[in-house]
Structure 1
């Protein structure tokens, strides 16, 4: 056989091999490659979707944290205002109680002063009568004595 016939036979065998490959081998390979490309595209789109969901979740978390911080700051401010109010109320009550105690002490001191004046008047009246008795060197009768004491008390 010559080189031309061998070449033609090889060309025919090659063309049959190409036809067989194109008809039976290439479509499953292309289909597998297409499926794989589709899976990769789906994975990429799922990754993009997950990334956008992650960004949205982070934004929601930040918003919730900001709201929680604001709420906590508001609660702290409310607690401070309440504490200040309680302190002011306690001061007011203490001042009122102090004023009541001072007023009671002043009233008691006034009563003691009045009692002391009465006792002093009685003593001064007794001393005045005793002095008058000694000056006169005579005894004053009980009725006159009581009358004298009454007048002295009134004058003092």
Structure 2
């Protein structure tokens, strides 16, 4: 049974050795180990706090980016609206000028047609008067007592006259 139960001497030396190792660890190793653990804990806390700060900054930057994007969209819409209005204004102005020019040209054309018409009527009247005078002159030059001879002469002159 000696194998299962340790002897008193063995327990004593193991306890003494344990206390010596415990004293040496407490004196020389415990403080550096605790300091290393504390340093590691504080570096982890700093890293977590830096990550939280970075997360907050990213959220702020994202909000700023969204705000800038919204402003840019508004500016784009405003510029497009102004460009559309300017284009419509230019088209409307050009349309009005074209209508005015067309109306002016139409009025000029009507006036020119009216002038040509008057000139043509005047020319026809002058030709008719000249023709009448010519016929009367020819009739008077000839002495015609006979009405049939007068009628034949008039028919001859009428058929011989061509109107331009």
| Aligned partner (choices 76, 81, 87) of residue 83 of structure 1 | 87
Q: Partners in 1 of 2:102 and 2:87 — Cα distance? A: 22
| Aligned partner (choices 37, 40, 46) of residue 42 of structure 1 | 46
User: How many residues are matched?
Assistant: 137
Q: Partners in 1 of 2:66 and 2:124 — Cα distance? A: 85
Moved more, 56-65 or 30-39: 56-65
Do residues 65 (structure 1) and 51 (structure 2) align? no
Q: Where does structure 2 lack aligned partners over 5 or more consecutive residues?
A: 1-6, 143-164
Q: Deviations over 1:24-72 (max 9, x none)?
A: 1111001001100111111111111111111111111111111111111
| Aligned partner (choices 6, 15, 20) of residue 16 of structure 1 | 20
CA root-mean-square deviation: 1.9
Q: Which has the higher helix share?
A: 1
- After TM superposition, the score normalised by the length of structure 2 is 0.75
Cα offset, 1:20, TM superposition? 1.4
Cα offset, 1:135, TM superposition? 4.6
Cα offset, 1:6, TM superposition? 4.2
Do residues 102 (structure 1) and 106 (structure 2) align? yes
Structure having greater relative contact order (Cα 8 Å, sep ≥ 6): 1
- After TM superposition, the score normalised by the length of structure 1 is 0.79
| Aligned partner (choices 101, 117, 136) of residue 113 of structure 1 | 117
